[in-house]
Structures are given as C-alpha cells and as structure tokens.
A and B are shown apart, each in its own frame.
Chain A
Amino acid sequence: MNKVNITIDGIKLYVPANYTILEAAKEVSINIPTLCFLKDVNEIGCCRMCLVEVKGSSALQAACVHPVKEGMEVFTHTPKVMEARKVNLELILSNHNASCQTCTRSWMDCELQALANKLSVDMVRFEGENKKLPLDVGVSIVRDPNKCILCRRCVSACKNIQTVGVIDMVNRGFNTQVGSPFGMPLAETPCVNCGQCINYCPVGALHEKDDIDKVWEAIYDPTKHVVVQTAPAVRVALGEDFGMPIGTPVTGKMVTALRMLGVDKVFDTDTGADLTIMEEVAELIDRVRGGGKLPLITSCSPGWIKFCEHNFPEMLDNVSSCKSPQQMFGSILKSYYAEKNDIDPKDVFVVSVMPCTAKKFEAARPEMEVDGIRDVDVVLTTRELGKMIYDIGIDFPDLGDSDFDNPFGNATGAGVIFGATGGVMEAALRTAADLLTGISADNIEYEPVRGLEGIKVATVQAGDLTLRAAVAHGLGNARKLMEKIESGEEEFHFVEIMACPGGCVNGGGQPLQLSDVRSWTDVRAERAKGLYTEDRGTFIRKSHNNPAVKKLYKEYLGMAGGSRAHQLLHTHYEARGNYED
C-alpha cells in the first residue's frame, strides 16, 4: 500500500495514501468533530464541522473528504478553525427547531446537542428562520422537517444503500428540505418502512411512530391478557439503550423488565421463527420435488416484502407464502394459545417487540388477521421498549435474569440466529438436511451463509438434493441479486433476503448508535456475534426439534403445509405501483 508522510498538529504520521485527513487524525487519537459524515454512507463534506487548516491552502478544508498528500501539514485547532466551526454550527442551530425537552432524541443522544457542547457554543448569535412545516406521520415512520439539519445521511441511506430513493433534497436556498416527490407523505411513495433513515439521523427529524401509550393502556385494562413476544435481534441490542456495550446479550434482563412492566406473559418470537422454518422448509421441499416455482424466496422481512411488491411484482410468486415469525406467532397466540388457556381471543392483546419499523406496517396490513382477529395488536421497536423501561425508572443493567414463559419459552438456536443475515437460511438448511436424509446431522454450522458480504452464495447437499442457496442483506444487494435471478444469469433453489444491511440486528428500530461509533465500529457484526454465541449455548439448535412446535403440530395444526397451517400461518402479496394513483 502506498503511504505518505504528513503532520497533524505537529505530530508526524506515516499513513496510507488513500486516507482522508479525518482518518489520519483518528490514528493519533484526534477526533475532529463531524456532523454530516458517516463512513461509507455519507462522505460529502457539506456541514463544514470538520474544517481544518492545511498549510498552503487559502481556504479551510473539510477533513472528512480531503485526501492526505505527501508533506501535508494540517492544523486542527487554530483560532481560525475554531471560530469557523462555531459560526457554522450556530448557523445550523439558528434554523433548528430546538424543542429539545420534548424531542425523541432527548433521552438518547442528539448529535447536534453533543456537538454544540463539544464546540462550547454558549449562545446563538444569529436569528434564523424557524419554519413550521407539517409533520409526515406514517404507520411506521415520522418525519419532522423542522428538526432536520439537512445533513443528507437519510437520503444516502435510502437512495444509495437501500436503492429505495423516496427522499431527496428538494427546493432551494432557505426552502431546502429533505422531502419526497411533490411533497407526498411517505405512505404514498414506494417507501418500504425499513427505517434505515432513522438509524442514520443525527437529530430528532426521523423516528418511529410511537405506540407506547397503546401498550400501557392494555396493561392497565383488566379485561386484556397482554402477551409480549420479543424478536431475536432485540436481546443483543436493548442493553445499548442503557449504556451497555454493543451486542451484549441481555435476554434474561429483558424478560425481567417486561414482567416489571406488568404484562401477563413474555414469549419468545423464536418460536414463531421455528414455525416459519417448518412451513418454509415444507414449501421448499414441495416446490423442489413437485417442480414448483424456484427459487423460493424468504418472506420474514416486511421491508423486503414491500420492496418486492413495488420493484419485482412479477416475482411475487417466488416469495414464500409464509407469514413472518411475528405474524405466525401472533396468529397462534390468538388461536391455539387462547383456546388452551380458555381466554377469549378478543381479549388476548399481542405486543411484539421488534428491531424493526416495517413490522408496524406489516402488523397493520389488512390481510394479517384470521376471522376478523388481528394477529398482532401493537408493535414496539427495541427503542420504544427501552424508553418504557427507562420511563418507569428501572435500572436495567442491574436486573437479574428471568426465563421466558412456557409453553413458548424454549425456542431453538435456529430461531435465535434469524436476527442476523444468513440466519434464516442456516436455520432452514439445518431442518431441510435432517428432514431429507432422515438422519440428525451433527455438523450444523453453515459458515458460507454467515458474515457481512453483500451477497453470499452456497451449495449444500441435503439428502439426495443439491441445493443452491443465496443470501442478500440490504435492499441494494437484494436488487442486484433479484436482477440476476430475473435475467436467468443465476439459478437458485432457495434465497434469503433481509431488507436491512446485516439483517435484523441492524434494523430500523434498534438502539441508535451515533456516527462517531457507527463510522468506526461494525455494529452489525458485534450484535450478530451475540446471537451466534446464544445459538451455541442453546440445548436445541434445530427448529423441528422444538418441543413446543412439535406439540403444536400434533395437537392443533396437523402437518406442516397442511390446511390449518395455511389458514393461520400463510398469506399473500399484492403488486404495488410506483407513485401511481
């Protein structure tokens, strides 16, 4: 690798020639302040917070985009630099709707506030224009343009990473804002509700639609039997809301906290995941053996489903008819569980805690009900659960561990790894291999489908079948893979797609990690590690061996893919236009 000599604040460095000044400074523990910068996502130098002096250059330079050069001399804290940064920040603040006390970011960290603190802004010398633009409130996502600081990170996440591209910079000058075409609400655009925009927003301009009050209301309604299900990815991220290291598994503490909130039962969505595997593998074997449409594509990720409905409507027959684990489990809770426990299904109130904003949209889809009874009543994001725990003063890190309630508390390792990209594929392969050979395989870790490469391909022998499998995560990767499948360039039997980069662990409802952390730590990998560790620690690691699931089929559902299973656990999709009336 080519390297160059540079000097930063008098410190001599020898750094790779493709470094920016920001990266070089990081090597000697100098954190140049940034606001719009997010490594690999948004590197455009528009906020001017990272200005530095470069010897020989008349203008100040943006460290996040300025490349290093042999012999370069950089100064990061001269009076000129400090004043310029401060003025720029004051100008941003002068237009910002600083209703900090009531802002969603007040209990998490706000990057703008942190920066004002870091640059010692003690007053804003300018009176800017404070507009009162209407909020865009959807089922999943809320946009508040009055708090937006125009950093463009959300635009980049939506357009470049997800290739959804429903928001961009619109208008000009003081009227510039992040908006959708013709000022449409996101609900009228092909937005898939993935919430990646929220994950990257430095302020409170983007957040999930808050459904916390509905849950409190149900908890305090004596007629309601409140049942909570928690998705796998939640347990390796919730602790972050309370300052715990990224990816710390907090399953036991989470269950304790949920009980303290006053809910009646705490179950594990992993049971739903195991059910999904049973149904999806049955569907896969059926299609492979019976000459059905291939590849079979997973349907767990509601962001992906809506993306497919908008962008690949002609491929919808390839998508598994299985409901997602959340919806399957909700449906079982309102039928089998209610019947078993002699509770009127109308009184069972199912709350899902999900790493995902699109799950709110999914639960609200009209078809997600059986006989007029909704599968899931309220979806909370991991952040919202964190907020509830925080609100009532629970000292989360100090909590002891509790177990999930039975009968749906002993899920498998297969269900746990659903939260990471490749996890659904791996779980399915574990079951498919056993079912096709009739032998319980010992070697069950499928390394080729793990990890963070955008598109992963594997060939797996399961009994007499040779299965070609592909895994994509992040919708940009999904689009590439789908185009290859559509054109016939690649052929697969089974394809897993997750809307969010890294899978659910990096979902749009997960605890926020600030850009200072996100730029230099792979949040996705840290959280996935937690899941794979938990998988290894579970007694049962294959979905078809889950005793609760076995019992459920025996007592209630009949066989996987059977008619009752179809009524409760399967769904259908609709082609959606792009901005059509």
Chain B
Amino acid sequence: MSNTCANCADAQVKAQKLDEIVAKYKDTRGALIPVLHEAQEVYGYLPLEVQRVIAEKLNIPLAEVYGVVSFYTQFSIYPKGQYQINVCMGTACYVKGANEVLDKFRTRLSIDVGECTEDGKFSLEACRCIGACGLAPVVTINDEVYGKLTADDVDGILDDYEAR
C-alpha cells in the first residue's frame, strides 16, 4: 500500500511482530508470561487490542490474560511516556519520605501510578528497591538518577524536562 501513513505502517510492523511472538509460543504450555513480556517490548505496554490477540491465539480467556497482566507490576496497560519516572518505594526510600515525593509527582502531573500524561511526555511508576539506598529517597527518570530528594525538588526537575 503506497499511501500508508507512517503510524499505520508502524502498527502493521508491530502487529506482524506480535503474530510472530505468538506463533513461536503457540504450542508451549505456560507460555503466557513470556509472550506478554515480548509483546510489551514491541508495544511498550499491553493495551486491550494486544491482549485480545494474545488471548485468541493462545486460546486463553481474555479475563485470564488480563488477570496475569494486572497481577504483575512489570506489565502495564498504559503507554509509557517519553520520560519514564520511577519512584523507588523500597524500605529505605519509603522511610525517608518517598511517599511524599510520589504524591508530588502525582499531583503535579495529574496522573496516577501506572499512567501516562495525555501529551505522552511523562509516565509514573512506583518500583521496588533499586539498590541505591544510600541516596534514599531515590527517583530515576529514564537513565538518570536523582537522590536525596524531597517533595520540594520535584517541581524543579519536571520544569527542566518540560523545557527539553
């Protein structure tokens, strides 16, 4: 199709990759989790359309697929933002006030944990200990690490990313 738009072409490529993934695991018992992992690598998240294809091709009820996706924090049903914010909720960060930092991100961006801002710029996650307890409370944004944060630091950091 010569007049296919860039987005549609991208969607077709992804759909084809998803088909390949499912085909690879079709006859393997217990294949759901690896399939979900690989599908998330392709799409960045696991929306209804993707889960529906997986359910149908693996012959597993969609409710079960969704049950597994919603059980593991690793899987997301929301798209990831250009900047993925991870607030560490490990014990050390938690006692040092990670909760307030997380709340500040929530209110400033008007999104909940697991969600993405409408402009696709930021997504917010609360994660388990990332092993940087000396810097508690700690936040990562993509590959950058921010340590010893307070809620008051959040505005400055986000202003910086907004300006990029």
Partner of B48, one of A159, A165, A166, A181: A181
In the assembled complex, A174 has its CB within 8 A of some CB on chain B: no
Q: Is the CB of B71 within 8 A of A181?
A: no
Contact B63 A172 (CB under 8 A): no
| Bound: A337/B64 CA distance, A | 49
Contact of B56 with A by CB under 8 A: yes
- Residue of B56, B61, B71, B77 with highest tally of chain A CB at under 10 A: B61
Report whether B66 and A170 are in contact in the complex, using a CB–CB cutoff of 8 Å. Answer: yes
Contact residues of A: prevailing secondary structure? loop
| Interfacial residues of chain B within 64-104, with CB under 8 A of chain A in the complex | 64-67, 70-72, 77
How many whole Å from A159's CB to the nearest CB in chain B?
6
The interface residues of chain A lying within 8 Å CB-to-CB of B77 are 182
CB distance from B130 to the nearest CB of A (A): 20
Pick the residue among A164, A170, A578 that contacts B70 (CB under 8 A): A170
Query: Is A457's CB within 8 Å of the partner chain B?
Result: no
Choose among A164, A167, A168, A189 the residue with the greatest number of B CB atoms under 10 Å from its CB: A168
Q: Say whether, besides A165-B63, A167-B63, A168-B64, A182 and B48 are in contact (CB < 8 Å).
A: yes
Query: A165 to chain B: which residues have CB within 8 Å?
Result: 61-64
Distance in Å: Cβ of B73 to nearest Cβ of chain A: 8
Q: Is A579 within 8 A of B52, CB to CB? A: yes
> Which residues in B have their C-beta under 8 angstroms from that of A170?
63, 66-67, 70-71
With known contacts A166-B61, A181-B51, A578–B67 Cβ distance under 8 A: no
B83 to chain A, nearest CB (A): 26
Q: Which residue of B lies closest to A164 (CB)?
A: B61
Interface centre among B62, B64, B71, B77 (most CB of A within 10 A): B62
Q: Is the CB of A159 within 8 A of B61?
A: yes
The residue in chain A whose Cβ has the minimal distance to the Cβ of B51 is A181
Interface 0/1 of B30-67, CB less than 8 Å to A: 00000000000000000010011000100001111111
- Within A155-193, the residues touching B (CB, 8 Å) are 159, 164-172, 179-182, 189
A171-B62 in contact (CB<8A): no
Q: A579-B48, A579-B52 are in contact. Are A172 and B71 (CB under 8 A)?
A: yes
Are the CB atoms of B63 and A180 closer together than 8 Å? yes
Q: Which residues of A contact B66 (CB under 8 A)?
A: 168, 170, 180-182
Closest to B73 in A: A172
Q: Which of A169, A172, A578 contacts B62 (CB 8 A)?
A: A578
- On whether the beta carbons of A171 and B56 are closer than 8 Å, the reply is no
Inter-chain contact B63/A166, CB cutoff 8 Å:
yes
Contact of A168 among B52, B63, B72 (CB under 8 A): B63
User: What are the residues of chain B within 8 A of A182 when measuring CB–CB?
Assistant: 48, 66, 77
Assuming the A-B contacts A170-B70, A172-B70, A579-B48, are A181 and B63 also in contact, with contact meaning beta carbons closer than 8 angstroms in the complex? Answer: yes
Is the pair B61, A169 in contact by a Cβ cutoff of 8 Å?
Answer: no
A132-172 interface code vs B (CB 8 A; 1 in, 0 out): 00000000000000000000000000010000111111111
> Given that A182-B77, A578-B62 are contacting pairs, would A168 and B48 also be in contact in the complex, using a CB cutoff of 8 Å?
no
Contact B64 A579 (CB under 8 A): no
- Are the C-beta atoms of A168 and B56 separated by less than 8 Å? no
- Within the assembled complex, what's the spacing in Å between the Cα atoms of A179 and B72? 16
Partner of A578, one of B56, B64, B71: B56
Q: Mark A569-581, 1 if CB is under 8 A from B, else 0.
A: 0000000001100
The distance in angstroms between the C-alpha atoms of A579 and B63, with both chains bound, is 11
Q: Which residue of A lies closest to B63 (CB)?
A: A168
Q: Report Cα–Cα, A180/B5, bound state, in Å.
A: 34
| Cα distance A481–B62 in the bound complex, in angstroms | 22
When distances are taken between beta carbons in the complex, the residues of chain B under 8 Å from A189 are 63
- Considering only CB atoms, which chain A residue lies closest to B72 in the complex? A172
Residues of B within 8 A of A180 (CB): 63, 66
CA distance A159 to B61 in the complex (A): 8
- Tell me, rounded to whole Å, the shortest Cβ–Cβ distance linking B74 to chain A: 12
Nearest opposing residue in chain A for B52, CB measure: A579
Residue numbers in B under 8 Å from A179 (CB-CB): 63
Query: In the docked arrangement, what's the CA distance between A165 and B62, Å?
Result: 8
- Closest partner residue, chain B, to A191 (CB atom): B63
The CA-CA distance from A179 to B77 in the complex, in Å, is 16
Query: In this complex, what residue of B is CB-closest to A577?
Result: B52
B69 to chain A, nearest CB (A): 9
Interfacial chain A residues near B71, Cβ < 8 Å: 169-172
A371 CB to closest chain B CB (Å) equals: 40
- A170–B61 alpha-carbon span in the complex (Å): 13
Residue of B nearest to A155 (CB): B63
Residues of B within 8 A of A171 (CB): 70-71
What A residues does B63 contact at CB under 8 A?
Answer: 159, 165-168, 170, 179-181, 189
Name A residues whose Cβ lies closer than 8 Å to a Cβ of B: 159, 164-172, 179-182, 189, 578-579
The 7 closest A-B pairs by CB, nearest first: A165-B61, A181-B66, A168-B63, A168-B67, A170-B70, A181-B62, A168-B64
The 5 listed contacts between A and B (C-beta, < 8 Å) are: A167-B63, A168-B66, A181-B66, A182-B77, A579-B52
Binding site for A on B (CB under 8 A): 48, 51-52, 56, 61-67, 70-72, 77
